[in-house]
Amino acid sequence: MHRARQHAQTRTRERRHRLAHEAARLMAEGGIRDFQQAKRKAAERLGIHDDASLPRNREIEDALREYQRLFVGDRHARELRTRREAALRALEFFSRFDPRLVGPVLDGTADARTPVSLQLYSDDADAVARFLEESGIPAEPRSRRLRLDRLREAEFPVWLFAAEDLAFELTVLPDVALRQAPLSGVDEKPMRRASATQLRQLLVDEDIAGYVADAAR
């Protein structure tokens, strides 16, 4: 009985691993940004339909990082660096709104199709729209539903625009949200966020790590 249970658990772990890596491949190659969609497609492709075998979003994200490291390598590093440098300039440009970088560009899983995602903070819902118009930046309005905590969620304005041949998306949140980040759609924990100062330090740390790696070769 015990051995059979162990065997079943091992098979479940193997299926979770296969599903996580297939979902990661679909995200990397197919441009899928939604973890649940990638998970469903992976399960259909592999013919695995039991809920116990479905990987967590964080497992897929880890598998995506591994896929990008193994199969995209230097190109991924260059694309990520380009987006992080552009994000820093955007953070400085929108400084009056206490902006923060969020999402794949910060987490390191961004690819050539990934927009630079910023959160801006203002109790004046129209302030960002006015600033974009005054700056001569044409932007497309959208909205996004975010979970503020375990009990509350709300719809927030989003502005999409292009600059430096990159896509940007600005989510406008009230000032109070600066104290506590909304919950991540990956693991339902507070989103990781970076200010301009923090992102600048991240870029410096990357430069140092790259120099050390080159010196060791």
The model's pTM: 0.81
Query: 99 with 116, same domain?
Result: yes
Query: 68 with 173, same domain?
Result: no
Q: Cβ distance 162 to 109 under 8 Å? A: no
Residue 26 tokens read as: 């679909």
Query: 203 with 123, same domain?
Result: yes
Number of H helices, E strands in the chain: 7, 5
DSSP, collapsed to helix, strand or coil, labels residue 165 as: coil
Q: Based on C-alpha coordinates, what's the Rg of the chain? A: 20
161-175 pLDDT, tens per residue? Answer: 999 999 999 999 999
Residue 22 lies in domain: 2-72
Task: Give the span between the Cα atoms of 32 and 22, in whole angstroms.
Answer: 12
Neighbours of 64 (CB within 10 A): 25
Query: 112 with 165, same domain?
Result: yes
Residue 194 pLDDT exceeds 60: yes
Task: Give the span between the Cα atoms of 160 and 183, in whole angstroms.
Answer: 21
- Domain count for the chain, please give it: 2
Neighbours of 185 (CB within 10 A): 15
19-67 pLDDT, tens per residue? Answer: 888 888 888 887 777 888 888 888 888 888 777 778 888 888 888 888 8
pLDDT of residue 9: 66
Last residue of a domain, one of 37, 55, 72: 72
pLDDT of residue 45: 86
Query: 114 with 200, same domain?
Result: yes
64 half-sphere exposure, CB direction, 13 A CA radius? 29
Instruction: Name the pLDDT band for 138 (thresholds 50, 70, 90).
Output: very high
Query: 67 with 86, same domain?
Result: no
pLDDT of residue 158: 97
Query: 109 with 199, same domain?
Result: yes
pLDDT of residue 7: 56
Residue 130 tokens read as: 């006015």
Task: Give the CATH number of the domain where residue 156 resides.
Answer: 3.30.460.10
Average pLDDT of the segment spanning 109-123: 93
Query: 60 with 81, same domain?
Result: no
Query: 31 with 134, same domain?
Result: no
Per cent of the chain over pLDDT 70 is: 91
Average pLDDT of the segment spanning 124-134: 95
Closest to 194 measured CA to CA, from 108, 134, 114: 108
Average pLDDT of the segment spanning 68-77: 78
Last residue of a domain, one of 50, 72, 94: 72
Neighbours of 195 (CB within 10 A): 14
pLDDT of residue 152: 87
pLDDT of residue 144: 94
To which residue do tokens 């309005």 refer? 141
Query: 58 with 20, same domain?
Result: yes
pLDDT of residue 6: 65
Query: 83 with 182, same domain?
Result: yes
Ramachandran angles phi, psi of 149, nearest 5°: -160, -165
Query: 58 with 94, same domain?
Result: no
CA 177 to chain centre: 19
Residue 213 pLDDT exceeds 90: no
Last residue of a domain, one of 42, 72, 102: 72
More confident residue, 77 or 82: 82
